[in-house]
């Protein structure tokens, strides 16, 4: 099963957002004992109550007014998982070139203890227009967990509905999702806001339909179980499709396949905010060195390459992933020494990827793995990475 993830969120609106504006987010909170440990990409920081974590500002690209800047906070390992919940408050404190709605500038995140992955949450800042929002974090409180702060750009459709087994939701049964070329990886998450029946898990099934040419979809129908909990809200988050050519829409349908479920729910469709680098065709790609956190033997890390713009469409590019293994005595790590990715050229090619996996074995330690990318590339190359905890 997948580790249950829960969150509490608030749409933090910024109006009149100008291109290049700066968004600063402050976080405060409380937990029983310990220090705050923050893991952000390859930057680590620790702090006690009232101290700055020292994490550098990270950026989120807002492509259009329907996209939001999403800040998830995921504690990866909680040494106090048998203790009570930890609480954090995330607040927007400054926007350069924008206006903060004072009534919607704060969101409280409750961290639910779990033996593997303690769950956090995210806040959303919806702006008008395009631009790049720079997000900074300051945590006031104590918490003995490493935190991974992830950034995505999200467009959200929300609604309420009720259905029994075999019936469709009464509202927002078919939600169109606009998909554009340029490396968008749509994700769909279902948020259970108010579960009227808490005695047993519900199962939701989604179906994907599309008439778009050249679109790759993994799993046109998939079922997810939602475990009942007074607080747990987030059911799942799964990459569904990559667009290879042109614009278009993907329609998602939801149905209850087992049990009776009365909920307020939302569909979040996300595109991953990735690191960019570039080089002329035939020359080495500017190296990207990224750290990944692996916990337990059940955790894997996957990563992918996305072609954004290829100026030399007649030739295929190849990229080599070089893995620098961790140096931990007594740790067995299954790591490919090299993973070569070949992307075939096409005049209309916009998205292409291959995936390899790193797996940590025989240890409860947190493992840092560094990935180095090299090889000839087009001017714009995006790396997408994710950390999945499952058993």
- Per-domain residue ranges of the chain: 11-150, 155-272, 277-389
Among residues 81, 40, 36, which one has the least CA distance to residue 58? 40
pLDDT (0 to 100) of residue 53: 34
Torsion of CA 153, 155, 160, 165, to 10 degrees: -80
Burial of residue 379 (number of CB atoms within 10 Å: 0-12, 13-18, 19+): middle
**pLDDT given at position 312:** 52
| pTM attached to this predicted model | 0.27
CB 182 within 8 A of CB 167: no
Report d(CA 361, CA 331) in Å as an integer. 7
What is residue 205's predicted lDDT score, i.e. its pLDDT? 54
Residues 6+ apart with CB under 8 A from 356: 302, 303, 321, 336, 339
CB 333 within 8 A of CB 324: no
**pLDDT for 262:** 55
Is 48:149 a contact under the CB 8 Å cutoff? no
Token pair in block for residue 368: 């840092």
Buried b / exposed e along 21-58 (16+ C-beta atoms within 10 A): bbbbbbbbbebeebebbbbbbeebbebeeeeebebeeb
- What is the sign, positive or negative, of the torsion defined by CA atoms of 53, 59, 65, 69? negative
In the chain, which stretches have pLDDT less than 70?
1-391
Q: Count of H helices and E strands in the chain?
A: 0, 31
Q: What are the phi and psi torsion angles at 215 (to 5°)? A: -125, 135
- How far CA 343 is from CA of 212, 304, 307, 338, 340, in Å, comes to 21, 11, 8, 16, 10
Cα 278 → chain centroid: 23
pLDDT of residue 183: 36
Choices 3.30.1390, 2.60.120, 3.40.1350, 1.10.150: CATH for 155-272 = 2.60.120
Q: Cα separation of 256 and 202, whole Å?
A: 8
Contacts of 268 by beta carbon, 8 Å cutoff, 6+ apart: 70, 154, 155, 156, 187, 188, 189, 191, 237
What is each CA distance from 188 to 109, 142, 191, 376, in whole angstroms? Answer: 21, 32, 10, 33
């Amino acid at each position: 099963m997948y580790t249950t993830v829960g969150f509490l969120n608030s749409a933090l609106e910024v109006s009149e957002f100008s291109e290049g504006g700066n968004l600063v987010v402050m976080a405060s909170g409380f937990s029983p004992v310990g220090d705050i440990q923050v893991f952000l990409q390859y930057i680590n920081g620790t702090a006690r109550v009232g101290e700055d974590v020292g994490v550098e500002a990270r950026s989120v690209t807002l492509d259009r007014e329907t996209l939001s800047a999403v800040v998830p906070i995921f504690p990866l390992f909680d040494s106090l998982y048998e203790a009570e919940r930890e609480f954090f408050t995330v607040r927007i404190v400054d926007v350069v070139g924008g206006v903060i709605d004072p009534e919607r500038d704060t969101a409280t995140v409750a961290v639910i203890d779990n033996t593997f992955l303690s769950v956090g949450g995210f806040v959303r800042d919806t702006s008008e227009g395009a631009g790049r929002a720079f997000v900074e974090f300051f945590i006031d409180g104590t918490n003995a967990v490493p935190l991974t702060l992830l950034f995505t750009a999200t467009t959200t459709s929300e609604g309420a509905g009720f259905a029994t087994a075999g019936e469709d939701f009464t509202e927002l049964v078919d939600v169109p999702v606009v998909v554009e070329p340029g490396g968008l990886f749509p994700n769909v998450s279902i948020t259970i806001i108010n579960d009227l029946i808490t005695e047993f898990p519900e199962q939701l099934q989604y179906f994907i339909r599309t008439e778009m040419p050249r679109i790759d979809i993994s799993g046109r129908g998939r079922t997810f179980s939602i475990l009942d909990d007074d607080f747990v809200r987030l059911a799942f988050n799964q990459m569904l499709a990559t667009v290879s050519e042109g614009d278009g829409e993907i329609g998602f349908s939801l149905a209850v396949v087992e049990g009776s479920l009365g909920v307020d729910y939302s569909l979040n469709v996300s595109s991953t905010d990735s690191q960019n680098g570039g080089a002329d065709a035939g020359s080495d790609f500017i190296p990207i060195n990224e750290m990944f956190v692996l916990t337990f033997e059940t955790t894997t890390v996957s990563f992918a390459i996305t072609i954004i713009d290829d100026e030399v469409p007649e030739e295929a590019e190849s990229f080599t992933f070089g893995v620098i293994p961790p140096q931990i005595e007594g740790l067995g790590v299954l790591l490919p020494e090299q993973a070569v990715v070949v992307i075939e050229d096409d005049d209309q090619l916009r998205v292409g990827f291959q995936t390899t996996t790193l797996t940590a074995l025989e240890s409860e330690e947190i493992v840092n793995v560094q990935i180095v990318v090299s090889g000839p590339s087009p001017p714009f190359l995006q790396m997408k990475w994710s950390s999945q905890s499952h058993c």
